[in-house]
Amino acid sequence: MLKFDEFNKLIKDFSPIADFLIIYIEEAHAVDGWAFKNNVVIKNHRSLEDRKIAAQLLQKKNPLCPVVLDTMENLSSSKYAAMPERLYLLQGGKVIYKGGAGPWNYHPQEIRAILEKMK
């Protein structure tokens, strides 16, 4: 997650009025796929256990919200076009904000602006 600290700040600032969740999806830059040279060493997930181990690396960054795993069929990723990362805001079971695909169109400040209006 490119702007992890900014995301954690959202959680700190808005946890009284919003619930937050990270869904760990398929690895976008696996070392045995399309990887960056400075990327964390994570292989493509071949099992749910592989995905769990990869998600534990994220857990070490101390997210301030729960982290859950997508299915191995990548149901969340495909339903929400989440690859490689994306922000959503739901209210009453309906999507009220769909962010652009990250990392270039990943803008936590847009979520902040919406939540500020809900205070």
Q: Which residue segments constitute the domains of the chain, with CATH numbers given?
A: 4-118 (3.40.30.10)
Angle at 108 (CA atoms; ends 81, 16), nearest 5 degrees:
110
pLDDT for the residue 37: 54
What is the band of 1 on the pLDDT scale with cuts at 50, 70, 90? low
CA distance 67 to 55: 8
**pTM of the predicted protein model:** 0.80
- Which residues have C-beta within 8 Å of that of residue 66, sequence separation ≥ 6? 20, 21, 22
pLDDT, residue 69, reads 93
- Tell which residue, 28, 6, 23, has the closest CA to residue 102: 28
